[in-house]
Amino acid sequence: MERRVVITGMGALTPLGLSVPAFWGGLKEGRSGIDRVTRFDATGFESMIGGELKGFTPEPYIGAKEARRMDHFIQYGVVASEEAAALAQLRNSGIDGDRMGVIWGSGIGGIETLTSNHEALITRGPRRVSPFCVPMMIPNMAAGVIAIRLGARGPNLATVSACASATHAIGESFRLIQDGAADVMITGGSEAPICPFAYAGFCNMKALSTRNESPQIASRPFDAGRDGFIMAEGAGAVILEELEHALKRGVQPLGEIVGYGASADAFHITAPSPDGNGAARAMTAALNEAGLRPVDVDYINAHGTSTQLNDKMETAAIHTVFGDHARALLVSSTKSMVGHLLGAAGAVELIATTLALAEGWVHPTMNHTEPDLQCDLDYVPNHGRAADIRIALSNSFGFGGHNVSLAVKRYE
């Protein structure tokens, strides 16, 4: 009998707030977490706006000395995982640590650490590079630190697939539990890209919005006036668990993952395949694994980046997979309010999807004021909507042509 995989814990750090309730509350209000960048002087950059974690401190989870030895992306991963672990009652639960693992995603890892230590090397010499530079910088270290803190001695690895990183991590964790290799997986992703080096790279690609005078309305997924995505930082963590294992512990499931699909465009290093073929194959694979028909799906939490190419591609892919049913779907983009958390995006969006199913309420796609003829679905524009939704997809697509889709059910 196939093992069922449920979500028993969630944690989030986003520009809307530093917990899952704060994040969900901001989405329900239709509030924007985007503002002018304060982490560095962005004068002279084409894009000067972003989604920062306002008021973040690693305490009480991480002491000051320990925090200095962690890049921000590691700190974010630890704090989000601690919130998720508390909800799932992982500590002092008697769980066999050998059967609990961690898979964690990050698109670019410790880029702040890399750039600051490179500057120290160039300006002050090789002895000024921190001995903690490498373990602070490498993308797998969040997975390692989370495992150390929570006693997870099972499978442990990092996924690095650009903006699909966290969703790949969650999908692979789902697969390990489904296949019997683990009973509990701590998974998700974190990103800390608010630094001059990352901004310069993305600005020069012409990937970021330049609506610097109106940051709160700059992220406009599926709107005809969209002009690029908004860089954001944060983390999302979910605890996945085999159903019977969770019920024996007396933990209430929050939702159930029932399918995982992944594919490659094999098309271009940054641009998605215009016809959406790769994204369509990922969604179809998730539905097929779950034994679902397209008409069974009620809601899609879209990748919805607010870029011209991605939003047209994703719309085309949805039409391909769902045919006439595409018009009946509710589709919304979390990025319209939090911006793009890069390798962490898929995790916070899965959390939004799970809460939408549990509460019967779909958050809006904000700033949708000018329809695009090539983006012609129901994007729940500007106002959230109560809806009896039972099955949803959560999509993530990354540079390099990485496509991932998770099929999620309301737990029953």
Q: Is 187 helix (H, G, I), strand (E, B) or coil?
A: strand
Please name the residue that has the structure tokens 């899952």: 20
Of 220, 249, 278, the residue at which a domain comes to its end is 249
Short-list 112, 95, 74, 115, CA closest to 241 = 95
Say yes or no: 171 and 273 in one domain.
no
Report the Cα 40 to chain-centroid distance in Å.
Answer: 24
Angle at which helices 196-204 and 111-124 pack, to 10 degrees? 110
Residue ranges with strand state E in 43-160: 49-50, 100-105, 156-159
Phi-psi region of 385 (alpha: psi -120 to 50; beta: other; left: phi over 0): beta
Secondary structure letter of residue 158 according to DSSP:
E
Nearest CA to 81 among 25, 169, 147?
147
- Number of domain units in the chain: 2
pLDDT recorded at residue 1: 67
What is the CATH classification number for the domain harbouring 291? 3.40.47.10
In-domain check, residue 330: yes
Could you say which residues of the chain have pLDDT below 50?
none
- Residues 237, 298, single domain; the answer is no
**Residue 327, pLDDT score:** 96
Same domain assignment for residues 268 and 303: yes
**What is the structure's pLDDT at 2?**
81
Range of the domain at 88: 5-249
Structural domain includes residue 255: no
**Residue type at 17?**
G
The angle subtended at Cα 365 by Cα 359 and Cα 366, nearest 5°, is 120
Please name the residue that has the structure tokens 């049913």: 325
pTM of this structure: 0.98
Active site residues: 163, 303, 340
State which of 183, 214, 249 marks the end of a domain. Answer: 249
Could you identify the residue written with the tokens 């605890």? Answer: 239
Asked if residue 133 and residue 35 are part of one domain, the reply reads yes
Q: Are residues 267 and 243 in the same domain?
A: no
Q: What is the pLDDT of residue 336?
A: 98
d(CA 181, CA 74): 26
Statement to judge: residues 282 and 387 lie in one domain? yes
How far is residue 33's CA from residue 50's CA, in Å, rounded to a whole number? 8
- For 384-405, the pLDDT digits (tens) are 999 999 999 999 999 999 999 9
